[in-house]
Amino acid sequence: MKTYLDCIPCFYRQALDAARIAGTDEIKQKQIVDKISQLIPDFPLEASPPEMGREIYSLVGEISGVKDPFKEIKENSNRFALKLYPKLKQEIDSSEDRLLAAVKLSIIGNIIDYGAKNSLNVVEEIDHLFQGNFTINNENNSTTFKYNQFKESLNKVNNIIYLADNAGEVVFDRLLIEELVEELGEQVIYVVRGKPIINDALIEDALFCGINEITKIISSGSDAPGTLLEYCSPEFIRLYQKAELIISKGQGNYEALSEEDRPIFFLFRAKCPVIAEDVGCKVGDIVLVGR
Amino acid sequence: MKTYLDCIPCFYRQALDAARIAGTDEIKQKQIVDKISQLIPDFPLEASPPEMGREIYSLVGEISGVKDPFKEIKENSNRFALKLYPKLKQEIDSSEDRLLAAVKLSIIGNIIDYGAKNSLNVVEEIDHLFQGNFTINNENNSTTFKYNQFKESLNKVNNIIYLADNAGEVVFDRLLIEELVEELGEQVIYVVRGKPIINDALIEDALFCGINEITKIISSGSDAPGTLLEYCSPEFIRLYQKAELIISKGQGNYEALSEEDRPIFFLFRAKCPVIAEDVGCKVGDIVLVGR
């Protein structure tokens, strides 16, 4: 996906959020803002938003001196989500269509705010989402929730790579991966980022959430908040090119790969008007698109 | 009020909105964004947001070639608000405290979306706001809705200048001005901007809404979206300095004048987190502060 002009205000907002999480003072925050301003005129809109994201978070790291400002947030998310795992697994065990339930939960993992203090609220939120517009979308098999098509594709393939998004969400990915591994064995590979970037999942998060007990984990090598192929390792690129199916989680991976001519399904919630416009849905919609 | 770093994303959003209303294509929009990016590093945060607003809208005018992109919007707002006038006047006539009702409506004029197609909806919105948290705020005479203090100040003064905000809103200002003129005669002067800036009221808007039938109108000379004294005419500055009371409408005028040591009351709704923080209220709160 190209960068829209409306992404630019958002770049600044993200930078300020990250700078504050990194504990910077206003002087350093202004330095970061000024450096971003210097980058904007040379940033080509044909590049995808994670290209700029990569530069922004690198700037924040450099100026704040904090290389992984979201580390604690990621650890908390993982711990919180792991506690939910037994209840989520039960949800799948008691569902009529296990794959659909796992797909739903995998996307729900992309949505919930692990920062919410009250775990009861989060459980209620999950229930609400689980019962919510997913069902409507699925019943209609709408153009932006192509579950039937996804299911058919799964039946035809022998291997899958699964591109992770955030820490915490990894636990929800695990539920879907368990269903996939049931069919394909360890021909499902879980791919995390190569270096700390926002709250995106790293090898350590995948290990903490127990993905290694189920299947293989590799790093894409990318340090962008999306799988930008030009920054990925040769090892990942080989896997990516021979993968019969790619499951891509989150907005960042959609932004990075939406124009790729590969068999990819994108699972995420459209969190901003720019993405919603690009996908052809409304903000807040649950999305499962691909081919 | 100083400029907060969180104003910066908003500057870009405002620029894009205005550029689109001016009918520019994406190439010109990118030019505007790039020019703003060049201004940011040299923009001192000690300056108030309307200082940057002035530069932004001037850039949009220059690059788009459209000097008053909001002209039609302003005309529609005026026409729409004028149609409501008889009903609003009735509201005041049937109220126990005419001044309070007029103050409420004057602030409501700063809130409503004249773009709403259905005039019935707007009337309902006004009713809702009129009955709503104003009353609660007033009953408590809270620190951010100092109606009693405002009323006491009014009783002590012989002249007032009233700084307008938006077109359309002028009709709601008229209702309050009619109450003020009842007490003070034409010692109430209505002040509009000197040049087109966003949808801010100009002389033509004040005339269209009939302010001239009630009291005097002058232009501040300012071309900023707020009464920045350094850009105002000597005529206005003289009036400003001798005014016994200044009624200041809207966020822009608050941003420009909040640190002035003059007898000013600010009437507006806190529309963004930055203002809410500065005032010490919540986003969406109705504000009447001053001394």
Q: Mind spelling out the 3-state secondary structure of A157-183?
A: CCCEEEECCECCHHHHHHHHHHHHHHH
Average pLDDT over residues A246-267: 97
Q: Tell me, what's the pLDDT at A190?
A: 98
CB-based contact A240:A231 (threshold 8 Å)? no
Check CB contact under 8 Å for B40 and A34: yes
Q: Tell me, what's the pLDDT at A110?
A: 84
Torsion-angle region of B168 (φ positive above 0: left; ψ -120 to 50: alpha; else: beta):
left
Average pLDDT over residues B53-60: 96
Higher confidence at residue B115 or residue A35?
Answer: A35
A282: helix, coil or strand? Answer: coil
Check CB contact under 8 Å for A12 and B16: no
The distance of B12 to chain A (nearest Cα, Å) reads: 6
The distance of B44 to chain A (nearest Cα, Å) reads: 10
Q: Give the C-alpha separation, A250 to A243, whole Å.
A: 19
Taking CB atoms and an 8 Å cutoff, what residues of chain A touch B33? 5, 8, 40
Least confident of A13-17, B49-53, B107-111, B192-196: B107-111
Q: Give the C-alpha separation, A240 to A243, whole Å.
A: 5
Residue-wise pLDDT for B232-290, tens only, equals 999 999 999 999 999 999 999 999 999 999 999 999 988 899 999 999 999 888 899 99
Least confident of A46-50, A103-107, B139-143, B181-185: B139-143
Of residues A6, A26, A34, nearest to B41 (C-beta): A34
Average pLDDT over residues B214-234: 97
Q: Give the C-alpha separation, A65 to B84, whole Å.
A: 58
Q: Which amino acid is at A214?
A: I
Indicate if the pLDDT at residue A273 is higher than 60.
Answer: yes
Check CB contact under 8 Å for A41 and B37: yes
Taking CB atoms and an 8 Å cutoff, what residues of chain B touch A33? 5, 8, 40
Q: Tell me, what's the pLDDT at B130?
A: 80
CB-based contact B286:B110 (threshold 8 Å)? no
Query: Residue A117: pLDDT band by 50, 70, 90 thresholds?
Result: low
Taking CB atoms and an 8 Å cutoff, what residues of chain B touch A6? 13, 16
Of residues A9, A26, A34, nearest to B9 (C-beta): A9
CA A194 distance to own-chain centroid: 14
Report the alpha-carbon angle A29-A33-A37, nearest 5.
170
User: What are the b/e assignments for A212-250, b being 16+ CB within 10 Å?
Assistant: eebbebbbbbbbbbbbbeebbeeebeebbeebbbbbbbb
The distance of B225 to chain A (nearest Cα, Å) reads: 20
Q: Give the C-alpha separation, A32 to B111, whole Å.
A: 34
pTM of the prediction? 0.91
B288: helix, coil or strand? Answer: strand
Least confident of A129-133, B48-52, B89-93, B221-225: A129-133
The distance of A38 to chain B (nearest Cα, Å) reads: 7
Closest alpha carbon to B173 in B118, B136, B214 = B214
Q: Tell me, what's the pLDDT at B234?
A: 97
Q: Give the C-alpha separation, B2 to A124, whole Å.
A: 42
Of residues A6, A10, A33, nearest to B5 (C-beta): A33
Q: Tell me, what's the pLDDT at B263?
A: 97
Of residues A13, A16, A41, nearest to B34 (C-beta): A41
Report the alpha-carbon angle B149-B153-B157, nearest 5.
175
Q: Tell me, what's the pLDDT at B124?
A: 81
Q: Hey, of B11, B14, B30, B38, which one would you mutate to test binding to chain A, going by the most A CBs within 10 A of its CB?
A: B30
The distance of B218 to chain A (nearest Cα, Å) reads: 36
Closest alpha carbon to A173 in A250, A96, A282 = A250
Average pLDDT over residues B215-237: 97
Check CB contact under 8 Å for B5 and A41: no
Q: Tell me, what's the pLDDT at A133?
A: 55
CB-based contact A57:A39 (threshold 8 Å)? no
Q: Tell me, what's the pLDDT at B115?
A: 54
The DSSP H or E segment spanning A54 is helix A49-64
Closest alpha carbon to A207 in A82, A87, A110 = A82
The distance of A15 to chain B (nearest Cα, Å) reads: 10
Q: Which amino acid is at A95?
A: S
Of residues B8, B13, B16, nearest to A33 (C-beta): B8
Which chain A residue has the Cα nearest residue B25? Answer: A5
Q: Tell me, what's the pLDDT at A141?
A: 60
Q: Tell me, what's the pLDDT at B185?
A: 85
Interface residues of chain A, partner chain B, Cβ below 8 Å: 5-6, 8-10, 12-13, 16, 26, 29-30, 33-34, 37-38, 40-41, 45
A190: helix, coil or strand? Answer: strand
Q: Which amino acid is at B213?
A: E
Q: Give the C-alpha separation, A219 to B40, whole Å.
A: 37
Q: Tell me, what's the pLDDT at B137?
A: 52
Average pLDDT over residues A16-45: 97
Of residues B5, B16, B38, nearest to A41 (C-beta): B38
Sequence-separated contacts (24+) of B54-60 with Cβ below 8 Å: B54/B197, B54/B223, B54/B224, B54/B225, B54/B228, B54/B231, B56/B11, B56/B14, B56/B15, B56/B18, B57/B18, B57/B197, B57/B198, B57/B225, B58/B223, B59/B15, B59/B32, B59/B35, B60/B15, B60/B18, B60/B19, B60/B22, B60/B24, B60/B32
Strand B245-249 to B216-219 pairing:
unpaired
Structure tokens at A284: 């807040």
Gap between the terminal Cα atoms of chain B: 16
Indicate if the pLDDT at residue A137 is higher than 90.
Answer: no
The distance of B199 to chain A (nearest Cα, Å) reads: 22
Indicate if the pLDDT at residue A230 is higher than 90.
Answer: yes
Average pLDDT, chain A: 92
Structure tokens at A6: 């409306």
Domain B71-290 bears CATH identifier 1.10.1660.10: no
Which chain A residue has the Cα nearest residue B37? Answer: A37
Domain boundaries, chain B: 7-64, 71-290
The distance of A46 to chain B (nearest Cα, Å) reads: 12
CB-based contact B287:B146 (threshold 8 Å)? no
CA A208 distance to own-chain centroid: 17
The DSSP H or E segment spanning B190 is strand B188-192
Residue with tokens 């604690």: A72
CB-based contact A254:A266 (threshold 8 Å)? yes
Average pLDDT over residues A194-202: 96
Query: Residue B291: pLDDT band by 50, 70, 90 thresholds?
Result: confident
Taking CB atoms and an 8 Å cutoff, what residues of chain B touch A3? none
B217: helix, coil or strand? Answer: strand
Q: Tell me, what's the pLDDT at B266?
A: 97
Query: Residue A78: pLDDT band by 50, 70, 90 thresholds?
Result: very high
Interface residues of chain B, partner chain A, Cβ below 8 Å: 5-6, 8-10, 12-13, 16, 26, 29-30, 33-34, 37-38, 40-41, 45
Of residues B16, B26, B37, nearest to A40 (C-beta): B37
Question: What are the beta bridge partners of residue A248?
Answer: A163, A266
- How many other CB atoms are found less than 10 A from the CB of residue A11? 21
Of residues B5, B9, B37, nearest to A29 (C-beta): B5
The DSSP H or E segment spanning A240 is helix A234-242
Give chain A's largest Cα–Cα span.
56
Q: Give the C-alpha separation, A167 to A172, whole Å.
A: 10
Residue-wise pLDDT for A143-155, tens only, equals 888 999 999 999 9
Taking CB atoms and an 8 Å cutoff, what residues of chain A touch B29? 5
B161: helix, coil or strand? Answer: strand
A113: helix, coil or strand? Answer: coil
